Structure 1
Amino acid sequence: MPKAFDYVKRTKKILAVIFIVWLALVFIAPATLPSGSVDNLDGSAGNMDNMDVISEMNPLAAVMYILGDANCHQMASNSLYINGNEMPFCIRDTGIFIGLVIGSLISLLAAPRFKWIVLAVLILPILIDGGAQMVSDYVSFNQLRLVTGVLCGIGVTYFLGYLAESAVKK
């Protein structure tokens, strides 16, 4: 096997480890806090809406919740709870993180042949579901948010694997 392909395989392994650690931290953070101490973080992505709550957290949880606060709306109704605490990211974002783990493991173990139609099938559901919510009165439900997030995460790693392998082939 050429060195370039070894590099791609090693890079995929590193990404898989990063995604697994990230997902673990997303789930661990609320478990490290007193039960029921984090709720109703409703805000908007791109704004730091919850620093008053975050400032009382342990360092690990604070980092995760700061990242969630900066990048996610954190609507309580669209979030999972662990230890009675709202998670740092909404269910759709959590689904994306789960999908990144699943997709990176698939890419490592199977290295599926890339097809644009497969990428479209993986990415379009989140675009349709999330897009419809943005432009209409449509309200999605959490199970669909989770599924579309997982599919999107798998799609992202599917595409990243394709990019890495096609860069090596050139």
Structure 2
Amino acid sequence: MQNDVRKEPGAVRKMTRAPPMNLPSDEAAAQGSSMGAVVLGEVTALRLVWEQMKWSRALLILLGLTIFWTASLFIAPLTIAPNTFAFTLGGANVVDHWNLYQGAAFNWYAKVIYTVGDAQCHQLWYRSLWINGNQFPIDARMTSLYIFGAFGLFWAMMTQPAASASRGIANAFPPRIQRWAEKVGVEKFAVLVVFLGILPVGIDGFTQLFQAVTQYESTNAVRILTGVPGGLVAGLLLGMMVKAIKQFDVEYRSMRFRAPVPSLDKE
């Protein structure tokens, strides 16, 4: 018998395939679509906010000036050397430190900001905030009032306009509170809101004013806290007054447009 002859096995070749293309999965595509929708929604929301902000140009300008002034309260002390304006005493509604502002230590920007602040504030060093070794141009309470007054103006911008400031203030609150305001009267409601907003400032300020009798001196923390509601309602009231003027003009123009033109009878 012949032996079986077997051939040696040849080398095994591996069949290689081209790697699959990195195509985006359904999950990645969905995630990208979701992110795009979020970005689009945010852009749309910002556009709506901007439309509301520029509805009244006068109010937009007022907000811009308030933000500039409030920022300057922090920036001006940084533009002068430390201890240039420190430990001062003065009276309200009068410029007490004009000679100091005329010195070479004050640049034109700080000179303007501190002079305007001096005209409206007594600038007592122990009632002021400090930065860079200098007092702020106005005291802590007024600084707080301006900061939150800007927020109050923005609050008014985001509120539905009305032909009266009272109705506008009521519109600034949720529907449930608006319904209650209509029951008691929007004028009374607006007066109540403003009164409650400035009440903390009045109590703290007047108690301190008569400290010869009350023996009370407030603190900067209390001055700042009482300025929060006061600034908010002051900004809201001022903003709604400006918007009421614009809304009245809009309604007046609309009435004139819809009014029928009288015809002249021909003889």
**Whole-Å separation in 2 of the counterparts to 1:101 and 1:165:** 15
2:97 is aligned to 50
User: Structure 2 length normalisation: TM-score?
Assistant: 0.57
What are the within-5 Å matches in structure 2 for residues 64-79 of structure 1? 64-79=113-128
- What code does the residue aligned with 1:86 have? Q
Matched, 1:160 2:238: yes
1:22 is aligned, of 65, 69, 76, to 69
> Which of 145, 151, 169 matches 2:229?
151
Q: Which has the higher contact order (CA 8 A, sep 6+)?
A: 1
- Shift in Å, 1:7: 7.9
Residue 118 of structure 1 aligns with which residue? Answer: 193
Please say which structure displays the higher CA radius of gyration.
Answer: 2
**CA apart distance, 1:20:** 0.5
CA shift digits 1:49-79 (9 cap, x unpaired): 2123211211110111111222111111111
Instruction: State TM-score, norm by structure 1.
Output: 0.86
- Partner secondary structure for residue 125 of structure 1: helix
RMSD: 2.2
Using the TM superposition, name which of 6-15 and 27-36 deviates more.
6-15
1:34, distance to aligned residue in structure 2 (A): 0.8
| Alpha-carbon distance change, 161 to 54 in structure 1, aligned in 2, over 3 angstroms | same
Cα 1:8/1:148, change in 2 over 3 Å = farther
Once the two structures are overlaid, the 10-residue window that deviates more, 104-113 or 85-94, is: 104-113
Mapped partners of 1:83, 1:109: distance in 2: 36
Judge conservation of contact 1:72–1:89 (CA < 8 Å) in 2. Answer: yes
Whether 2:56 is the aligned partner of 1:9: answer yes
Answer whether contact 2:74 2:131 (CA < 8 A) is retained. yes
Q: Is residue 153–residue 238 contact of structure 2 (8 Å, CA) maintained in 1?
A: no
Is contact 1:107–1:157 with CA below 8 Å preserved after alignment?
yes
Structure 2: segments with no counterpart, 5+ residues: 1-51, 161-171, 174-185, 252-267
Count of matched residue pairs = 166
- From 133, 152, 156, the equivalent of 1:103 is 152
Distance across 2 between alignment mates of 1:166 and 1:18: 20
The unaligned stretches of length 5 or more in structure 1 are none
Paired letter, 1:144: V
